Structure 1
């Protein structure tokens, strides 16, 4: 009998799982339930769509190293009937800046990243000024620049390419909302949707992103993942910044080129970051009070900026340790969680899809061991903290 896998959520995580499952074993019956096939509210489509290796944990670095390998080969990997998708990958690099207070952490992270094979260069203020003459370095102690393997791409294009390839391989996508789960002891046996359709399942994958907590609650499981709104601003400026990377200021404010313009943003303070804020609203006060003054200080030419467009999307924010939760929960033996990426789900989607498919097909991880991201650490209060959350 064919094994039935039901995936709740058809964004980058769910579609990556569907793709890797069907690519590895065409006998597995894969159903992806995605309530909004337009992806209008999807984090995958609304993010700044970037990839980096500059993380503070070895596993995050390794996941994104596979991510860039996957993105570079996407035309070949995800081609359908000879049509090769493109996601406009631009390896412009990340530039993390540090003041004297943060330089030790920057150096420690750099040593870790380069040991694992990431192409990151540590630059002193003089080298930063020479490389980026438009940059104000007066209060900086160093910067870490991704020379290759880091940059930005079309996030919506990646989701669509994964979805279309998964469908071409035989995965079924259902435009519906999951409304109930039926359990028999420690197993989920059925998934019911708003259309009153029932889907039997041997394995359930929770890939519901910012709404994954609702899925977990149906299993009486407390998932520490919340929808945290993040606003992104597209701005114009007369500034022409040569060789501009995606720059992360020590304050957490970031910007990167977007054609002839720039996009920028930052996370609000912890005391002003509630859950489930409406996505049709943008935090313009955050731009006026924090982002613009920071950009004008770091790049004096940015004193003249004009907001062209702004939007908001959700981080599926893991409040426990800002790292993904991937794997089984001890109370439910056939539900796999893939949630809480806290802003780096797009770049870690390929590694997650591969790992979850291995867990389903083989009962263990075969390539990159993701067990450190398992649910046990939450239950045992063992945070696996990611410090480089942007």
Structure 2
């Protein structure tokens, strides 16, 4: 079977679905959008397996602006993703947004980075406060602050939410807007000179298109290789552990220890994780949980930072994948000089879910108008990869 579509989105997770939404809802667009997703269940999707959080605490101005737009989008989700027939209830549009903040902790040699980042964040309008060890102890009496020099806390605009619910809302709205989801795997991109003409699926179906978006997450480099483009994005496994604490810990934000270990409340329990050391973080596509990571790296840190966590019980876990940008852990966004109708949105390195609204809007502007109109994200264009000039983000979690 041969189909045609004005825009073909490869990847139906949060990035691809957000891009489809902003394109299909643009009043100047009257064409067809097709989204291709190989995992109908989304059980292995980076979107659904993420820790599902949003923060303003970045060091790069563009990342901060992306999240400022993102939090407003999430706060006003019903204005964007409610269906026109009005049959949804309030609970249908509830993504469980909890604006309880991020708390980034610094030891003796880390406070200068937090202070410098805070100056940039506040200048751009992010409500981030700095707390001394004494203030930290007063506000969070359950926390050991003896070896801390500073804490950076989001007073608003930061927290966590239900990733699966957000994805389902995007998909439902897209289908109402006429977006077609096809559950199949891309195996070939046919191109002549500097343009892709057709995508071939595993079932043999072909789709002819005008514009193509690579939103394939950890598999993005495979899509790029089909047009002989080297995309420096690898799949890196990240494990999330759920634990129960018998002692009551109140007023707990998402805490990022100075060691890199993070934890936050999740209902009556907590979730936690840490990125492996760069020397022990190979490309990985399996979903096996590394329990040694919890036993050897995470639990000792939790027990040190929160004495009540000495007697916790680990009760659940899962593994997902980052689409890890080897150059600078920031998104690679826009076209490549070699193929001018293939748009990249890859290498978020753990930031994709929270950046999806702004990046989806940016992609729609590039595809439909040829330039950014809302927020200039040209700092993330492919040329920096070709020139090996990283945009270094200091706050990668």
Query: The TM-score by the shorter chain falls in which range?
Result: over 0.9
Aligned match of 1:39 in 42, 48, 59?
Answer: 42
Alignment partners' CA distance in 1, 2:167 and 2:234: 22
Aligned match of 1:61 in 57, 61, 64?
Answer: 64
Aligned CA RMSD, in angstroms, stands at: 1.0
Aligned match of 2:74 in 71, 77, 81?
Answer: 71
1:94 maps onto 2:97 in alignment: no
| Aligned residues of 2:122 and 2:128 also touching (Cα < 8 A) | yes
Matches for 1:86-125 after TM superposition, within 5 Å: 86-125=94-133
| TM-aligned CA deviation for residue 286 of structure 1 | 0.6
| TM-aligned CA deviation for residue 119 of structure 1 | 0.7
Q: 1:51: which partner in 2?
A: 54
Alignment partners' CA distance in 1, 2:392 and 2:307: 34
Q: 1:14: which partner in 2?
A: 16
| TM-aligned CA deviation for residue 26 of structure 1 | 4.4
| TM-aligned CA deviation for residue 3 of structure 1 | 6.8
Alignment partners' CA distance in 1, 2:195 and 2:29: 24
Q: Using structure 2 for the length normalisation, give the TM-score.
A: 0.96
Aligned match of 1:194 in 189, 202, 214?
Answer: 202
1:5 maps onto 2:7 in alignment: yes
Q: 1:233: which partner in 2?
A: 241
1:115-173 deviation per Cα after TM superposition (whole angstroms, max 9, x unaligned): 10001110011110110001100000010000100000001111111111111111110
The alignment partner of 1:315 has SS state of strand
Alignment partners' CA distance in 1, 2:228 and 2:278: 28
Matches for 1:174-323 after TM superposition, within 5 Å: 174-279=182-287, 281-323=288-330
170 and 277 in structure 1: CA distance in 2 versus 1, 3 angstrom threshold: closer
Q: 1:130: which partner in 2?
A: 138
Alignment partners' CA distance in 2, 1:36 and 1:47: 16
Alignment partners' CA distance in 2, 1:48 and 1:19: 23
| TM-aligned CA deviation for residue 86 of structure 1 | 1.5
| Aligned residues of 1:188 and 1:334 also touching (Cα < 8 A) | yes
| Aligned residues of 1:3 and 1:27 also touching (Cα < 8 A) | no
Q: 1:30: which partner in 2?
A: 33
Alignment partners' CA distance in 2, 1:299 and 1:9: 40
| TM-aligned CA deviation for residue 355 of structure 1 | 0.2
> What stretches of structure 2 of length at least 5 have no aligned partner?
none
1:17-41 deviation per Cα after TM superposition (whole angstroms, max 9, x unaligned): 0000010044121000001121111
| Aligned residues of 2:35 and 2:179 also touching (Cα < 8 A) | yes
| TM-aligned CA deviation for residue 243 of structure 1 | 0.7
| Aligned residues of 2:5 and 2:34 also touching (Cα < 8 A) | no
> What stretches of structure 1 of length at least 5 have no aligned partner?
none
Q: 1:335: which partner in 2?
A: 342
Which shifted more, 236-245 or 203-212? 236-245
Alignment partners' CA distance in 2, 1:339 and 1:296: 36
| TM-aligned CA deviation for residue 277 of structure 1 | 4.0
| Aligned residues of 1:21 and 1:28 also touching (Cα < 8 A) | no
1:294-334 deviation per Cα after TM superposition (whole angstroms, max 9, x unaligned): 00000000001111100000000001100000000000010
Alignment partners' CA distance in 2, 1:189 and 1:249: 48
| TM-aligned CA deviation for residue 278 of structure 1 | 1.0
Q: Using structure 1 for the length normalisation, give the TM-score.
A: 0.98
The alignment partner of 1:46 has SS state of coil
| TM-aligned CA deviation for residue 238 of structure 1 | 1.1
| TM-aligned CA deviation for residue 8 of structure 1 | 0.2
- How many residue pairs get matched? 388
Moved >4 Å (runs of 4+): none
| Aligned residues of 2:29 and 2:368 also touching (Cα < 8 A) | no
| Aligned residues of 1:316 and 1:340 also touching (Cα < 8 A) | yes
Alignment partners' CA distance in 1, 2:116 and 2:247: 33
| Aligned residues of 1:78 and 1:161 also touching (Cα < 8 A) | yes
Alignment partners' CA distance in 2, 1:37 and 1:17: 18
| Aligned residues of 1:26 and 1:170 also touching (Cα < 8 A) | no
Matches for 1:360-375 after TM superposition, within 5 Å: 360-375=367-382
